[in-house]
């Protein structure tokens, strides 16, 4: 464990009970030793991006404080995904749960197993809408632009609808 860092996690699902899966994933994140959920966005119903015919997703973003280094946090999140039945088969395909590290403080990581900031976050409405809800003035460490600024100039037209609900 190291000095605590503020990190942002993207959490999504489109199989089974997607909203329930997101709630359960966040509950499990909250039990990680040395980690605490600080804020969470609303949940959003989102149009799938990438792969053809599949169900719409439920997505949200959580702000956490964690003492895990980035790679250890990734391993813990992958363990949560696996324990919830996640099978890594098709990229951008249907999934029971997906937990991505979007930002990890202002760290920039570019390794074989982990890229931070998340390499697609600035192009994805389903990430930027919930990020903007809880952290509009957080600065993207590569672009030097706030989440609000990224959302304001976003060209992604995929549907994103706030569904609310406590998670």
Positions annotated as catalytic residues are 86, 95, 98, 100
Helix or strand run (H / E) with residue 155: none
Can you list the alpha helix ranges (DSSP code H) found in 15-124? Answer: 18-30, 70-83
On the question of a cis peptide bond just before residue 117, with omega within 30 degrees of 0, the verdict is yes
User: Max CA-CA distance within the chain?
Assistant: 43
Distance CA 44, CA 138 (A): 20
Handedness of CA 70, 88, 31, 101 (dihedral sign): positive
């Amino acid at each position: 464990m190291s000095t605590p860092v503020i990190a942002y996690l993207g959490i999504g699902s489109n199989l089974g009970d997607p909203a329930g899966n997101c709630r359960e994933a966040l509950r499990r994140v909250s039990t990680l030793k040395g980690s605490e959920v600080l804020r969470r966005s609303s949940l959003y119903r989102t149009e799938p991006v990438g792969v053809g015919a599949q169900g719409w997703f439920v997505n949200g973003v959580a702000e956490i404080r964690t003492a895990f280094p980035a790679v250890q946090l990734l391993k813990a999140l992958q363990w949560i995904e696996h324990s919830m039945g996640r099978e890594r088969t098709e990229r951008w395909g249907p999934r029971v749960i997906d937990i991505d590290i979007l930002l990890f403080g202002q760290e920039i990581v570019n390794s074989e197993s982990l890229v931070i900031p998340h390499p697609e976050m600035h192009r994805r409405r389903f990430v930027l809408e919930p990020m903007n809800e809880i952290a509009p003035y957080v600065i993207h460490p590569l672009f030097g632009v706030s989440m609000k600024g990224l959302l304001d100039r976003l060209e992604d037209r995929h549907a994103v609808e706030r569904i609310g609900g406590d998670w």
